[in-house]
Amino acid sequence: MIDDGSTDGTGAVADRLAAAIRRSAPSITPTHGAGVLLPAGRGRGRKNFYVYIPGDNTWPYRSLLELFGNLGKADVVTSYTTTPTFAPGPPVVSAMYTRALNVLFGRRMRYYNG
């Protein structure tokens, strides 16, 4: 479990959960700090597939079933928000960013942030 340093109490919850289940799952160790999500997750992973799931319940259960149900069917399996929240600035900046990544990586994704 990785807490990105948010102020919503995620770190304390992660610590309590890890302590409560330590006997049955000793490999669960919370990591805390802004910017540690990807480096820490990449360094600890032992499986073939990885997924980032925000802890704020923004992914409905059904979307998780669809996402995991498509593993192995393509090189990249990702989610797409139907109600994207754009970063500050005009939506055209987000569209340009998406276009640039698609050109760079030869993909046809509709959205990368979110």
At 27 the pLDDT is 67
- Residue 50 DSSP symbol: -
How many C-beta atoms lie closer than 10 Å to residue 9's C-beta?
Answer: 9
Of residues 104 and 68, the one with the higher pLDDT is: 104
- Residue 16 DSSP symbol: H
At 26 the pLDDT is 64
- Give the model confidence (pLDDT) of 12-71 as tens digits: 888 888 888 877 766 677 888 777 766 776 677 677 776 777 766 677 788 888 888 888
At 20 the pLDDT is 84
Q: Are 114 and 81 in contact (CB under 8 A)?
A: yes
pTM, 2 dp? 0.43
Of residues 93 and 103, the one with the higher pLDDT is: 103
Q: Are 18 and 30 in contact (CB under 8 A)?
A: yes
